[in-house]
Structure 1
């Protein structure tokens, strides 16, 4: 333990990746209140991860009790934050171009680049279609990063190599290793080691791309942590919003192994303000600390059963200030002038036989909900079954009806044969029917789902092909601008998945007006879900309100429920 010579002074000492404060007892509450504080029993001092935000807060809170050299050290460490804030405030004409890139960035992309360039950790909270992938590529290239790790949803693993190819400047040669599906985790670990070895032997940057579900699993997880990364990018970073989830906890450890960290997402708080904790624990634990319990106590208001239910939020001004200290926000409506789009609803009526099954199932479901004889999770399963009936199939009767299938055929027949088309579906059996309709009309069929990866072939085609897309597979990081026509055969309950799927077609790269067609069975759950999503409401609660009752759902229940198919 270091002695404190002046009882009115606090002494700072750097220790590896942390900063330590040795102080008289009277400063205990002040130091403890600085985010990320941890009492080190062995060294008898307070300790924080030494990040720019911690340096700035220490300077602001205890600067008058520090020696000048310690204060200067903090100011120097926090200068990136000051520069990043200046970038935010700069006039458009004062934002310099990105030094090295293939195609010139839009002004908001250049501003985002310089913002992230000045920071060791940054949240790029940019709406879908605003080009955040290009910004991330620019950061990797111009930051001369030798080792880059991209963690993303599975459906986007094969997209990221093309993002580097599309945006990296001429002459940029990197060893790109996409750890895509179809391989065991052990095989992916071997591919990782091989890519790192090849990159080192050829003196090339190494870019490794892996999905969230694989990244933390041994032996791949250990292989990733065994290396020091110049840059780690979390694409669709809201995937680690659950602090106790394995992916989120793993990323917290991974953040300590990365010199620079980027989070990319258009929806950093998909369900509540508490969703940002896991993401910021990866980016900079000095902002919101390393205790989720303390974080909740600070920003949530509790009540209800045993006072454990979140009833509201508090200290939101403080949270926003901390959030935006390293966050750059871009909204699509503010920066883009995209072609017009319009929504069309096409209806069908269920046949008598199909309606009989649907009505009986719906009546039983609503009765159970009203009488509170059903749990929230079971309610979701039964809503899924109602959706399956409107699509014409249930497990017991695979070919229950073909009303919506015929409606799809009618819509496709009205579209020019040379025009490619995207059809979004929820269930595998829906995709089977889309395939059959496409083939029946003489169109080639490709699929992007949990069972097929036909996106590349569809994008390379020059014909009026149909791409069947499972809505959760085609929601993030997928470019579908080849098509101007998109059909929704069935919808999920997630507003986020729905809005992301819309933005896959109507985004930069789209040069023509976009037409969305929604296939809806009249007087069924289809209508309620569609209207709720179009009005940006919670689809499940909207359906339940229709029967005069409500159930309590945990955040994410509607998204995490496994489809019966």
Structure 2
């Protein structure tokens, strides 16, 4: 036996797997008391259409089958035997058959036959063996879990309480026909693994037998039960089974997946896609769920949310609370004045903030930091609705803002153009905030839903698995992209250009010195935490050098203002920035200049001032009145330049006065960078938008871009295993990241 295994291993390496496809036809038991069944070996003929013939007929009459290639060496039987022994590594009975000189049939025990007929036989097909049955066998028993109420009456909106328990039971069908209780009792009491029912034989394995004996599962709270139905499957003993709604619950599921149009009301004028989003939000909250409106940046999520406030406040009393970044408060004030002029709007901000008793038509707009600071006052109010704008601020459930937002009452709606920026836990955090507990814990969500997708692109089941995941979350998240022609937006085109710019001699020297000193420090830092801090300091220093030596050396902006030519010689990016803005000014067009550092925006403002521009600075140091004044001046000035950071102005602002966007240095987060660009490329923009990325060639900026691109393929962008941690880079990766030599 060992010699044969060694011989097979050598032949597998040296000889092709050239056996014709094999078929094993398993006959049913002769009687109810039979202890064995016979399996007949067949070979597939290369004919049109393909056919099969018993192996015994081939061995007895080798020249009467034109579908088989001529076999002058008479070694067909040897090739078939080797294929059977190869398959026998997964099914020992086939190895026994493969030991025959001319294999044609084998007697199988009932357990061996049941194993070959089980669903988990894909490895046999990979080995070139297909298992089939005759017409005397029944189609496989199809079990699926049915979830619903004990009554078939349709479940209408609002009839189910959040904690109400739903009935769960197993239903079994053959060829789509349900089995009766008497038939199920027969199967449950029969000896395994083969049972005769409806004049045909059927395979019942241990898992199915267990389901047949316990046909009802414990009741389950409504939220969890509906999630199982939406996911479409449940796993028992490592095996997945379909999960379907009962007749009554099916009506509610239909509402979730195909909501009816919202009742006409005092809505602002909406685009058709916004009206659909309003219908969806109205349906979700009517069923006591929350939702995430994740439309692309610039599609008018704020207007849709205002329409939702007007509609929902008629059905559920209580004021509306809007949570948003500080930079967006005035935007909400303006949009509410425009689209809901009758609403009582309270801007809860500033040192003299106060909150009089709000009514159902009151909209309170405040910021995430103030939610934390005044949490005790805000949590005691019976809010009718809570709208979290730029909800990515809640993506880390451990932050104070996220914890405070979880304590608020009322229907919950999240607005964000970037529902997932780094890892699946962010998506879970938003889903869990909108629907507490519905999507289990973060660890369970990753284990059950996202982690199984992580390696699917190489698997044939990838599209099916992705569809199942999207079916799970689709009722609770709605996302449309500006590029979707079905929206009919007719936005002007946008072009993106990456400008690779050289280092100056000073920048090269600073980078080499920083890298040398940092690597020496890292090598002498044993702790992971200390090493991580040193690595982050190195990367941060490299990025500052790429912006300008003046930034890295903490020079006062006055040095740039005093000698712009010298500043451009030290940092070639500045000369390119000057060239791009000069071209925009000659066309009478305005521009946004983004940089990720608050200090750098002052350096850029000083440089542009020295070059004859009148740049406006929009940063976090401005008071609300100053922010409004800066934006008003920008929007009313031809050929204006606005310098800002993604943190201060990358979200929530409508800056369509500009049609040039310059990213002076790249963000680590591509989603946030797109969001910043979309301040200009959004509804209301009439001119083509030009987006420019300034990248220092052969530097950390170029390498970070390439590194993130490799780590954010389609699957990893949705489901990365973990966030990028620079502290985990080994020495080789760190040198490659920060070195100044050209990429190979």
Tell me, yes or no, whether TM beats 0.5. Answer: yes
From 410, 421, 427, give the equivalent of 2:591: 421
Counterpart in 2 of 1:307?
A: none
Q: Verify the 8 A CA contact 2:421 2:669 in the aligned structure 1.
A: no
Report the Cα distance in structure 2 between the residues aligned to 1:516 and 1:426, rounded to whole angstroms: 16
Counterpart in 2 of 1:113?
A: 278
Report the Cα distance in structure 1 between the residues aligned to 2:263 and 2:361, rounded to whole angstroms: 23
Counterpart in 1 of 2:491?
A: 338
From 266, 273, 280, give the equivalent of 2:424: 273
Report the Cα distance in structure 1 between the residues aligned to 2:264 and 2:525, rounded to whole angstroms: 59
1:152 maps to 2:324: yes
Q: What displacement does 1:279 show?
A: 2.0
1:388 maps to 2:544: yes
Q: What displacement does 1:357 show?
A: 0.8
From 326, 329, 350, give the equivalent of 2:479: 329
Secondary structure of the structure 2 residue equivalent to 1:416: helix
1:100 maps to 2:266: yes
Report the Cα distance in structure 2 between the residues aligned to 1:295 and 1:544, rounded to whole angstroms: 25
Q: Verify the 8 A CA contact 1:529 1:540 in the aligned structure 2.
A: no
Report the Cα distance in structure 1 between the residues aligned to 2:726 and 2:685, rounded to whole angstroms: 33
Counterpart in 2 of 1:263?
A: 414
Report the Cα distance in structure 1 between the residues aligned to 2:219 and 2:662, rounded to whole angstroms: 57
Q: What displacement does 1:385 show?
A: 1.0
Report the Cα distance in structure 2 between the residues aligned to 1:441 and 1:97, rounded to whole angstroms: 57
From 379, 384, 390, give the equivalent of 1:236: 390
1:116-135 pair list within 5 angstroms: 116-120=281-285, 121-135=290-304
1:525 maps to 2:694: no
Listed one character per residue, the Cα deviations across residues 429-473 of structure 1 (whole Å, up to 9, x for unaligned) are 321122223323443332222223365234442332211111222
Q: Verify the 8 A CA contact 1:287 1:322 in the aligned structure 2.
A: no
From 229, 236, 250, give the equivalent of 2:404: 250
Task: Name the CA shift for 1:377/1:472 in 2 (closer, same or farther; >3 Å).
Answer: farther
Higher Rg: 2
Secondary structure of the structure 2 residue equivalent to 1:381: helix
1:207-246 pair list within 5 angstroms: 207-217=363-373, 220-246=374-400
Report the Cα distance in structure 2 between the residues aligned to 1:215 and 1:369, rounded to whole angstroms: 40
1:431 maps to 2:619: no
Q: What displacement does 1:83 show?
A: 2.9
1:440 maps to 2:610: yes
Task: Name the CA shift for 1:342/1:277 in 2 (closer, same or farther; >3 Å).
Answer: closer
Q: Verify the 8 A CA contact 1:98 1:113 in the aligned structure 2.
A: no
1:143 maps to 2:312: yes
Counterpart in 2 of 1:3?
A: none
Task: Name the CA shift for 1:517/1:546 in 2 (closer, same or farther; >3 Å).
Answer: farther
Q: What displacement does 1:368 show?
A: 7.3
Task: Name the CA shift for 1:407/1:535 in 2 (closer, same or farther; >3 Å).
Answer: farther
Report the Cα distance in structure 2 between the residues aligned to 1:532 and 1:339, rounded to whole angstroms: 31
Structure 2: which 5+ runs fail to align?
1-148, 152-157, 168-213, 235-246, 453-463, 560-566, 718-722, 736-744
Task: Name the CA shift for 1:80/1:137 in 2 (closer, same or farther; >3 Å).
Answer: farther
Q: Verify the 8 A CA contact 2:162 2:223 in the aligned structure 1.
A: no
Counterpart in 1 of 2:576?
A: 407
Task: Name the CA shift for 1:276/1:347 in 2 (closer, same or farther; >3 Å).
Answer: closer
Task: Name the CA shift for 1:80/1:177 in 2 (closer, same or farther; >3 Å).
Answer: farther
Counterpart in 2 of 1:47?
A: none
Report the Cα distance in structure 2 between the residues aligned to 1:543 and 1:486, rounded to whole angstroms: 32
Structure 1: which 5+ runs fail to align?
1-8, 38-52, 62-73, 303-313, 552-565
Q: Which has the higher contact order (CA 8 A, sep 6+)?
A: 1
Task: Name the CA shift for 1:284/1:354 in 2 (closer, same or farther; >3 Å).
Answer: closer
Q: Which moved more, 1:433-442 or 1:391-400?
A: 391-400
Q: How many residues align?
A: 471
Q: What displacement does 1:483 show?
A: 0.4
Report the Cα distance in structure 2 between the residues aligned to 1:299 and 1:56, rounded to whole angstroms: 14
